[in-house]
Structure formats: structure tokens, C-alpha cells
Chain A
Amino acid sequence: MPPRRDGRRNEETRPLSLTFESLARVDGSARFSFGNTSALASVSGPIEVRLAAEHPSEATFEVAVRPLSNVPATESKAIASAIRATLEPSLILTKNPRSLVQLVVQALSPSAKHTWNTTLAAAMINACSLALLNASSVPMRGVVAAVAVCHSITGTILVDPSDDELVDVKSCGCFAFIFADQVGVDDSRSDCVWTSWKSSGGLDEAEILKAKEMAQRSAQTIYRALRKAVANACGLEVDESMTPEEGKSESEESEDKMII
């Protein structure tokens, strides 16, 4: 298998960078990067909602996406709509009826001009998850982690393609998975809540399912990184003793250990 241009293994993501921005006027904010593909998300909520958007039994969830340059166009609307649909299952909105949870995502890397922004979309979703955890004001069912996967022209599946790898690629897509405490972290039980796969050459179904499996394993790594970042921010230690090899039965026995 030919090595990647930057020396990574096929299933390795670029170095992840997770920081809490501490933006003063919002409830929670965070920045997430895959290498140099970066996004900043801020969340405010539950806050006051305008009458037209008020919902009697649950909070209204709105997402706005701003590109790095230019005014938001239809592409930003499409990504915002996708992020909204991806994160909604993870939020328990019924706890705060007649209020608003507002998520604003700012792209910190330029949009690719002639291809779809898979890696940027994944970074945005992860930044949103981190911001929601940072705010801790909206009850959540689980945490969504997303990763981009591509199929190169040689047929190998690469996780988190860099910008130059995306130039000549047969197909690429983004998968998002929802993780909850002890569900999906060390096994494959996490639900895939969003798939967006585009192919120029046409792909077989089997290849897509294989890509999804690789994405799931990567998403687990990202979830662990999210957990660690939250733990570090609180000054706590993450219980790393539950390694993937120990299996499911172990994870159920060790419920008394503190898991974040």
C-alpha cells in the first residue's frame, strides 16, 4: 500500500487540535481542527426565541454557517441544514420548550472551490459537539463525532484526506456517528447519524460500507479526543484503562469507575 504524502497510515487522521475559545458573549465555544482544516463553533442557549420560531413543546434549534470569505451563500445553507439534522438527535430539546438554541459555525479554512468540503464539514460538526459540551446548558443524549473519508483513484480508502489528496480522488464522503457513555466507544454499536457520500466514478455498495467501517473507528478516536479535551478543561483525568481489546463484557463490569 503506497504511503500517503504526509506519511500517515490510511486510517490515521491529521493531528487533531481541540481548544476552547472562551468567547465572552456566548454560552459555549470551541475550535476543532484536522491539521489545517479548522472550524470555530459557538453555542448560545437556551435563550429567548422570536415568536415566529417558537415551539410549544421543545426548544428551537438553529444553525448558521459562515464561510471564511464572502457572504453565506447556498452552500453555507446546505451545510447548516446538514449540521442541524446531524446534531438534533443528540440534543434533548424537549427540556426547554419555547426557547432557542443557536449554533453559529465559522469556517476558519477556505472552502474548496470545485469539490465538496467534506473535511470542513466534519471539522464543523466536531467543533459544534465540543462547543455544546463546553456550554453544558443543553441536555444531550450523546456526542456526535464526524470524519471525512475518501476513495483515492488507486482504490485505497483514506481517512481524513488532506487538501492535496482531495484533488485527485474517485469519491469522498463524510460520516457522523453518535456516541454515548459506554455505547459505541469501544465497539461498533454507535449509530451513524449522517452520511453524505459523493462519487465521480461510481462506486459499489460494498466499498461504501467498508469506508463507513473505517470512518466509525476513526470517529471513536475523535470521540476519545473530545472527552479528553473536556476532562482536561475541568482538570480531571480520563479513565484510559478501558482499552478496545478488553471487549464489551469488561466495559459493563467496570461501571463503578468514573467515566466522563
Chain B
Amino acid sequence: MAAPPTAASLSSQSPNLSHLSQEALEELKASVFQRLHPKVYLEKYLDENVRPDGRGASDWRNVEVNVGSISTADGSALVRMGNTTVVCGVKAEIAEPELDREGDGFLVPNLDLPAMCSPRFKPGPPSEEAQVLSNRLNETLVASNFLPVSTLCIQKSKAAWVIYLDATCINYDGNAFDATLLAMVAALRNTTLPQATYNEDLNKTFCLRKAPRVSLQLAASVPLSMSFGIFDSRVVLADPTSFEEPLLESTITVILGDKNKVVTITQVGSAFVIDDGEVGDENDSNSSEGFNKRADSLPVCIQAARLRREELLVVLNKV
């Protein structure tokens, strides 16, 4: 167990710190400890049933949603989940449908994690994390059928809408997936398309500029994502921050639709937590002692996700 640097040792080793007040030295001591021993730092907090940002283990960060701020886009949304900020813009264009799917349009979601949102992302081609998250977002939107691609058809086998859903993270503080899915859903609800008609004789699609724009035909069931992480096989942390994320050995993401129907469950790593409650009373032939205290945290997470979804829906319906 590492000994935290004391304020006295810090100021004695580096004489140029002597101008700092006692309070500032304490803060410096804490942040040095956080940098050098992140796991122990988090353990110390969790022993007191609180996380470094002051939340309880099952508390979520505040969510803010703003729509329609990008006037050049067909729809847009800005989501802030604590410090994690994601902007999503929607652009539509017209293309020819695929040969084997002549009545379907296209939905192309993408998430970009540029270097400006966090020091862990370097400039250059999209990192693996951005690609994996984009893929998961695509799978979620397809599985939930939130925007059925058949509603994007203008003329069968001739013209259909392509909806580009581009999200950019401008500040990364963990849990980008939840924030991005919320931003994409909000942006789609904000999107309006011009009325398009296909002219058979000219083989062209025309959009009426003066006609009122049409909203997208979205499904009634809104998919919302809730992510959790398991720390040290002991504590389930809801909505992990970027400090907590690398310390978690397992993550669970639950995506729920209306009526609490499960759209997606993704669990990476073991979901078992050691429950320090009562010892099991059956005469078990289990040789390992702590085994009968292990509990599957997946049902707990699904239950917590249900409650959270109600809160998120309230926020979403306000905009």
C-alpha cells in the first residue's frame, strides 16, 4: 500500500512550492496521489461510499439536452452528461437504393472522438474506440428500428433518403456511448426533411423549397442507453467518468426501449460481484469460501437502468 505524499515532504523536496497555502498543498498532494495510484485513490473514496466527483455508486450525472442549435443541419442536438459533451448533426441527401433493398433508405451514424476532447486521443485517423462505438451505435439503431429505413424511401428502386448522423465529442469525461445515443435520438427527433417527389420523365428527384418540411417517421419506442462498470468485483458504478473507466474490470451497457423492453445488453467481463452480506446458509460443498456470496449484478443493473430511463425520457421530452 503506497503512502500518500505528505504536505511537509512535498514542500521540503521542492522549495518553490513554499509559496502555496496549506490548502493548496493538500490539494496538490491529493492530485499527485490520484495520478500515481489511481486504483488506491478510488478505493479510498469507495470505502467511504462516495466517488471522487461526490456521487454515490448508483448515482447518475446531470443531463442537459439542447436541440436545433445548428441551423445549417437538417437536425441537431447537444448533450451534456456531466462533463461529457457530444454534438450531433443530421444531414440528408438523396441516393439510389440498393438493388436487393429497393424500398429502403440509409441511416449512417458515426461518432468522432477528436484529439480535442481528451488527451488520450491523438490526431489522425479514427481511433479503435471511435470505430467500435460507431459500430455499436449503428447496431443499436438498427436493432431498435428507431428510424425504419423503409420510411426513407422516395421512389422504390429509384430514390431514397440517406441520413448522415454525425456526432462529435467535444469533451470526453467517460460514458461517451450513452451521451452519443441520447444526442442521436434527440437529433433525429429534431430533424425535418424537405418534401421530395420523384419525376419519372426526367428521372430526377425534386424538393419543394416552399413547402413545409416534414419530420421523420420515428418509432414510438425510444432506445436509451445506461452504462455501468464493476470495480474490484465489489462495487457497481453507474455512469463511469473517464478517471474511473480504465480502473473498471467489467462494463455493462443496457439499452431499453418503451415499456422497459430490452433492446441490447452488452456485458464485457464478469458480472459477478462479491456480496459482503450474509454468508450462505446452505451446506455447500463449495470449497472456496467467498463463493456463495457472489451475486450476478446484471439484474440489478437492468433494474437501475429502468429507473434512469424514466428520468432521461423526461429530459428528452422537454426539448
Size of the chain A interface, CB-CB below 8 angstroms: 34
**Could you say which residues of chain A place their CB within 8 Å of the CB of B269?**
85, 89, 193-194
CB-based contact A194/B267 at 8 Å: yes
In the complex, whether A208 has a CB less than 8 A from a CB of chain B is yes
Interface stretch, picked from A7-15, A40-48, A73-81, A234-242, is A73-81
CB-based contact A191/B262 at 8 Å: no
Interface stretch, picked from A126-134, A195-203, A217-225, is A195-203
Which of chain B's residues 132-170 have a Cβ closer than 8 Å to chain A?
Answer: 132, 134-136, 139-140, 142-145
In the complex, whether B271 has a CB less than 8 A from a CB of chain A is yes
Task: Report B206 CB to chain A, min CB distance, Å.
Answer: 30
**Could you say which residues of chain B place their CB within 8 Å of the CB of A81?**
128, 132
Task: Report B177 CB to chain A, min CB distance, Å.
Answer: 12
In the complex, whether B6 has a CB less than 8 A from a CB of chain A is no
Cα of A197 to Cα of B139 in the assembled complex, Å: 11
Contacting residue for B135 out of A77, A194, A204, CB 8 A: A77
CB-based contact B268/A82 at 8 Å: yes
CB-based contact B132/A202 at 8 Å: no
CB-based contact A204/B262 at 8 Å: yes
CB-based contact A198/B291 at 8 Å: no
**Could you say which residues of chain B place their CB within 8 Å of the CB of A201?**
261
Cα of A77 to Cα of B287 in the assembled complex, Å: 40
Cα of A96 to Cα of B271 in the assembled complex, Å: 27
**Could you say which residues of chain A place their CB within 8 Å of the CB of B264?**
196-199
A78 in contact with B261 given A194-B268, A205-B299, A252-B287 (CB within 8 Å): no
CB-based contact B265/A78 at 8 Å: no
CB-based contact A78/B267 at 8 Å: no
CB-based contact B262/A208 at 8 Å: yes
**Could you say which residues of chain B place their CB within 8 Å of the CB of A78?**
131-132, 135-136
Contacting residue for A192 out of B136, B257, B271, CB 8 A: B271
In the complex, whether A173 has a CB less than 8 A from a CB of chain B is yes
Among B139, B143, B258, the one with the most A-chain Cβ atoms within 10 Å of its Cβ is: B143
In the complex, whether B285 has a CB less than 8 A from a CB of chain A is yes
**Could you say which residues of chain B place their CB within 8 Å of the CB of A191?**
270-272
Cα of A77 to Cα of B125 in the assembled complex, Å: 14
Task: Report A60 CB to chain B, min CB distance, Å.
Answer: 14
| Residues on A facing B (Cβ under 8 Å) | 74-75, 77-78, 81-82, 85-86, 89, 114, 116, 173, 178, 189, 191-205, 208-209, 248-249, 252
